[in-house]
């Protein structure tokens, strides 16, 4: 059994875990925005002291933060997959994967995706 299958099994049998990870993703996103706004001046001053060393640390922290947000969202949404074995680990609804270059196709796919999400939350 793969790690992905184990995560899906746990989040399906314990929905509160999936809800917790979804909530953690939202909290982490807004906490990141708040920290970036609140500590902008001290962070910029700290980065200007040693640009070669401090800037890569800040960039790595931002990338790690974005990675954690995406991981938390994927774990939170993994309970909604229909259980098909051929789909990817953290798949989305088919409406999001079918693309096109036109704006109309993009809007139609987005509406289809939102309808599927609403069906899953009822």
Looking at the structure, do residues 74 and 107 belong to the same domain, yes or no? no
Looking at the structure, do residues 111 and 63 belong to the same domain, yes or no? no
Question: pTM to 2 decimals?
Answer: 0.63
Looking at the structure, do residues 79 and 105 belong to the same domain, yes or no? no
The pLDDT score that the predictor gives to residue 14 is 74
pLDDT tops 80 at residue 69: yes
pLDDT tops 90 at residue 112: no
The pLDDT score that the predictor gives to residue 89 is 60
pLDDT one-digit tens code per residue, 39-53: 999 999 999 999 999
DSSP per residue over the chain, as a string? --HHHHHHHHHHH-HHHHHHHHHHHHHHHHHHHHHHHHTHHHHHHHHHH-HHHHHHHHHHHHHHHHHHHHHHHHHHHGGGS---SSS-TT---HHHH---SSHHHHHHHHHHHHHHHHHHH-
Domain that holds residue 99: 92-122
Looking at the structure, do residues 60 and 96 belong to the same domain, yes or no? no
Rounded to an integer, the average pLDDT of 54-82 is 85
């Amino acid at each position: 059994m793969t790690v992905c299958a184990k995560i899906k099994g746990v989040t399906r049998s314990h929905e509160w875990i999936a809800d917790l990870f979804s909530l953690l993703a939202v909290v982490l996103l807004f906490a990141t925005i708040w920290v970036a706004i609140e500590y902008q001046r001290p962070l910029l001053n700290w980065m200007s002291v040693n640009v070669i060393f401090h800037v890569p640390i800040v960039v790595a922290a931002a990338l790690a933060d974005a990675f954690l947000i995406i991981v938390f969202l994927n774990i939170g949404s993994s309970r909604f997959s229909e259980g098909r074995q051929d789909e990817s680990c953290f798949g989305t609804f088919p409406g999001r994967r079918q693309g096109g270059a036109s704006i109309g196709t993009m809007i139609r796919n987005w509406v289809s995706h939102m309808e599927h999400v609403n069906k899953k939350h009822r």
